[in-house]
Structure 1
Amino acid sequence: METPLTFKQLRQQQLHIWINQNTDFDCQSLEIVAGDAGFRRYFRFVHHEQSIIAVDAPPKSENTSQYIAVAQSYREKGINVPEIYAYDLAQGFYLQQDFGHRLFSDILTVDSSDLLYPKALANIPIIQSCLSTEKGPLPVFNDAFIDRELSLFTDWLLGQYLQLRLTVAEQNMLIKVFTEVKNTCLIQPKAGIHRDYHSRNLMLLENDEIGVIDFQDAVVGPITYDAVSLLRDSYQDWPKVKVLQWLQNWHAEYYVQYPWAEFKMWFDCVGMQRHIKIAGIFARLCIRDNKPSFLADIPHTLDYLIDEASQYPEYSEFAIFVRERVLPDVLLKLNAKNKATSS
């Protein structure tokens, strides 16, 4: 009796059939390239000596039409995004240009960082000019949107993963901090934002230009958001002095109309909002989506959060809470997990 195909195996089989029967491409076999934090999976195949990326984006969880629309908008503005060759929205399949193997995160070194980061930062003002697609205006990073993201921290990291019992004082403190962070995000000038503009979503192309991927969640939001994603990337760790210099140079070149101290405060508060969200997402990826590898990135994300909050008196109590209550519990759980895995 044959073993039934898993959902992923069935989707790969259907993708293979779709390519050969419904597109102008011939596919002998699909080689898995990668998945991501969502449910998309990427495959590579060769058609007449041309490498093509085939994407499985299950329509129940992934918005392929939005990806295609944002890609068109970005391309029209001059951002290097993959060309879309064919797609089937109903099935959640599409074929796109292969940007190669040179991930920004893999190419970064101490020697290359001073060239690559300013180059990646220079893309952001162009992305910020993309406020709509042919489908209409991009979604807005508004009050309700921010509340949903901040709740990931309490629901998934503190509640589901750590199972922390918060005191009334701690609950009230979190409510106050989240409200202040949200308001600082909302008062910033608005711009188009990629929303995940970090080292694993950028490619270095043959001409050493920056290629941009994974932009389907683009919205209109705080002007400093994509710079935070890039410079305080959960998957990278650079000296604070170097990060501050990159940010100051970017501010001086593109945003000098905003006082530096105010711009830096905007950057830090958006950093808090993003790292609060990401810490919760990493916990959810483990618990809900069975992707435990992301747990290892939580401590670094919390370190960013502690550093950002410690710079401002109104967030000092929150910084202490994360440093003394949350981070130690995360490290304990990770150490226990690592011991169990190695034994």
Structure 2
Amino acid sequence: MVIDRLDPRGRRMGEWLRSQGVAPGAARSMGADASDRRYFRLDTPWGERVVMDAPDQPATCEAFRQVRGVMADAGLHVPVIHAADTHEGFMLLEDLGDRDYLSALRDGSRQSLLADAINALVRLQCRASTGRLARFDVTRIDRELALFPDWYVRRHLGIEPDAQWWSRWQAGTAVLAAAMTDQPEVVVHRDYMVRNLLVATPNPGIIDFQDALAGPVAYDLASLLRDAFYSLDPDEERDWIAFYRHQAMAAGIALPDDLPRALDRTAAQRHLKVLGIFARLCHRDGKPQYLVDAPRFLGYLWRELSDDPRCHDLAALIADLPPPARAAPR
């Protein structure tokens, strides 16, 4: 496809590329993500590059630029920004390759890939400064948790919770929020999952980091080991938690006294948030494919909450909801 023949936005992007000395000729669509951003791979005089199109997202582009600097300073492999117009929402980026961890892990290269991902995470946590980042505070945590009752329970399942439901919900999620804010604080990618890690040299290449915050040390580990699209056997997961703990302690990273419990509660907050986001993508944005993985998240939540004395009632509250397959999108 030719970028500047796509649509009016494509024509503007083509004009911008020409101003950077790049002919907007044949380009390969890399698709879109859960937002309105689009990505294209194209040839330039300097090799392949990726063009990011983020309409009406100047703050996102500025955050990408800022966090990219933080991560690069920590020695992580993040794409070079070759050119950018953050006001227009255009960026010309280094191409880190087209093989993400999701496809690579399915091919059976798990041991080295996950070791590389955890070692990169440890470098991020021990070297990157939180000073320029907003905090993942209780207000933000609660706002994310609210996505689950608003979009998954009310909109997707069609259930209006009563006062008792809300009381149980608030008591249970307060435990999750406290577990997160009580943890040592590090730079948190916030979506450190297999689709955002690319097989590269050095490995991994890391993308989609613009939402990074200063937050709980267990968050990115939870994102990696309990992924939206890929699951590990619980025994293997325990081995990777032990590997992370060893690497983190050797690097001087402060960890919760009970790391597995902290990881469970942190992961539960993330999974509730993501179920809410997936329901919103389905019903507001017309992207029903995201809810195909709802059973995986519900399975994670049962594992994370059912054996936790302080979260057992929250586990029961969620388990009592109708299975997602019986709730037709409206």
TM-score over 0.5 (shorter chain) = yes
Match of 1:17 in 2: 15
Match of 2:139 in 1: 144
Q: Of 291, 296, 300, which residue of structure 1 is paired with 2:287?
A: 291
CA spacing shift, 1:146–1:10, aligned 2, 3 Å: same
| 1:131 partnered with 2:129 | yes
Bigger Cα displacement from structure 2, 104-113 vs 217-226:
104-113
- Which secondary structure does the structure 1 equivalent of 2:261 belong to? helix
| 1:230 partnered with 2:224 | yes
Q: Deviations over 1:60-103 (max 9, x none)?
A: 47610110111122112110001111111111001001111111
| 1:280 partnered with 2:270 | no
Q: Of 134, 138, 148, which residue of structure 2 is paired with 1:153?
A: 148
- Which secondary structure does the structure 2 equivalent of 1:24 belong to? coil
- Which secondary structure does the structure 1 equivalent of 2:231 belong to? coil
Match of 1:122 in 2: 119
Contact kept? 2:77, 2:202, Cα under 8 Å: no
Within 2, Cα distance between the matches of 1:150 and 1:269? 12
Bigger Cα displacement from structure 2, 262-271 vs 164-173:
164-173
Match of 2:191 in 1: 196
Within 1, Cα distance between the matches of 2:90 and 2:303? 42
Within 1, Cα distance between the matches of 2:177 and 2:83? 40
Match of 2:100 in 1: 103
Q: Deviations over 1:288-332 (max 9, x none)?
A: 222111011211111111110012022112212222314x1x121
Shift of 1:258: 6.3
CA spacing shift, 1:259–1:49, aligned 2, 3 Å: closer
Q: Give the TM-score of the pair, scaled to structure 2.
A: 0.92
- Which secondary structure does the structure 2 equivalent of 1:87 belong to? strand
Q: Of 241, 245, 251, which residue of structure 2 is paired with 1:251?
A: 245
Match of 1:267 in 2: 263
Q: Deviations over 1:128-182 (max 9, x none)?
A: 23234xxx62010001111110000011111111121223221110010111110
Q: Give the TM-score of the pair, scaled to structure 1.
A: 0.88
Within 1, Cα distance between the matches of 2:57 and 2:246? 43
Unaligned stretches of 5+ residues in structure 1: 1-7, 338-343
Match of 2:3 in 1: none
Within 2, Cα distance between the matches of 1:321 and 1:65? 40
Unaligned stretches of 5+ residues in structure 2: 1-5
Q: Of 155, 174, 185, which residue of structure 1 is paired with 2:169?
A: 174
Contact kept? 1:42, 1:54, Cα under 8 Å: yes
For 2:52, the aligned partner's letter is V
Q: CA RMSD in A?
A: 1.9
Aligned length: 321
Bigger Cα displacement from structure 2, 317-326 vs 269-278:
317-326
Shift of 1:29: 2.9
For 2:71, the aligned partner's letter is Y
Within 1, Cα distance between the matches of 2:303 and 2:249? 24
CA spacing shift, 1:99–1:276, aligned 2, 3 Å: same
- Which secondary structure does the structure 1 equivalent of 2:92 belong to? strand
Contact kept? 1:157, 1:279, Cα under 8 Å: yes
Contact kept? 1:16, 1:29, Cα under 8 Å: no
Identity of counterpart residues, as a percentage? 30
